[in-house]
Amino acid sequence: MPERITEVTALLAEVLAPRAPLTVIVDGGDPGAAAAFAARLAAAFPAAARAWNVDAVLGLIGPGGGMFDSALNVLEPATDQILVFLRGGPRHRFAEGDGEGRAQVVIDHRDPDWPVIRHLHPDLADVERWYRAESQAFFAARAAEWDTRFGDDMPRYREAVRLAGVRPGDVVLDVGCGTGRALPALSAAVGPGGRVLGLDLTPDMLAAARAAGRGDCADLVLADARRLPIADGAADVVFAAGLVHHLPDPVAGLRELARVTRPGGTLVIFQPLGRAQLAAKHGRTLRPGEPLSAERLGPLLAGANWTLTTYEDVPDRFLVTATRSA
């Protein structure tokens, strides 16, 4: 298998080369990481691509005096520039502003040996070209230690299932189930007369769920949340923990969840931390207009055949329920 850095830079070079002449600017708050990634990306372009210029820009000192800011925050958008933001690294936790939001390319770079594309602007490449493989690479690298890192939030999953009103006999889909932390609680709630399916895009996550014994309380299915192998209206409840903000098109994803839910059925969107707490944990601040924000989620749901019923965003829980429209 090629090195992951080679896979990522080769894909970016293939996608961006037809747009030359162009300048690619790489940043993320860590000058050394930006310079190293820029050098690898420049080397991935064919020798004939002489019009290319790939630069790493230094982080800037922010108004707090010593707080590192992404230089992408001050660059004016230009048709002959592509902005690449490296998410992660020792200085990312100090980054302020909206450099990531302005970038056309976002790379998860917490492990420089295992970079993963987390966003490509649709003008650069169709989502089908990168989303599935990059998402699997992102979660495969984390599957083995997922429960070790996050296993202490199991009580919050049980409480979310209780608050969602899952009933005996229900058919429940846990979409993006990961290692299956919600599956035992969902199985207990539906009882012997119900059925629970855990669906996830990453084989390594499902393997970890089986290793933890969670395949004993649910059927585990390898599936893309954007195209579920489920009949129309089959589910009473769709449980989606940490899913929606990972989807490249949240409205299309919510519509697919609506398709597999019966009219009057329930969608549960859950995170075992509040939005601000989760953002801080990942070294960033919340940006206006994010898909799960109170002002945006209601209209997104309405446009995807859901009616928002509850919205709770507190430090130890983000929990939204919605009802499938007729």
Longest CA span, the chain: 66
What is the model's pLDDT at position 49?
57
Model pTM score: 0.88
Averaged pLDDT score across all residues of the chain: 87
**The pLDDT of residue 316 is above 60:** yes
Residue corresponding to tokens 């992102």: 138
pLDDT confidence band for 46 (50 / 70 / 90): confident
Q: And the tokens for 25?
A: 């600017």
How far from each other are the two terminal CA atoms of the chain, in whole angstroms?
48
pLDDT confidence band for 75 (50 / 70 / 90): low
For 190-203, b/e burial (b = at least 16 CB within 10 A) is beeebbbbbbbbbe
Read off the pLDDT of residues 3-25 as tens digits, 9 standing for 90 and up. 899 999 999 999 988 887 788 88
- Identity of residue 76: E
Q: Are 175 and 246 in contact (CB under 8 A)?
A: no
pLDDT confidence band for 48 (50 / 70 / 90): low
Range 302-319 average pLDDT: 96
What is the model's pLDDT at position 217?
94
Lowest mean pLDDT across 43-47, 80-84, 251-255, 288-292: 43-47
Range 294-308 average pLDDT: 95
CA torsion angle 113 107 123 290 (round to 10): 160
**The pLDDT of residue 115 is above 70:** yes
CA distance 39 to 52: 12
Range 242-259 average pLDDT: 94
Read off the pLDDT of residues 126-152 as tens digits, 9 standing for 90 and up. 999 999 999 999 999 999 999 998 878
What is the model's pLDDT at position 19?
80
Q: Which residue has the higher pLDDT, 227 or 287?
A: 227
Instruction: Say whether the peptide bond before residue 21 is cis (omega within 30 degrees of 0).
Output: yes
Read off the pLDDT of residues 155-178 as tens digits, 9 standing for 90 and up. 999 999 999 999 999 999 999 999
**The pLDDT of residue 289 is above 70:** yes
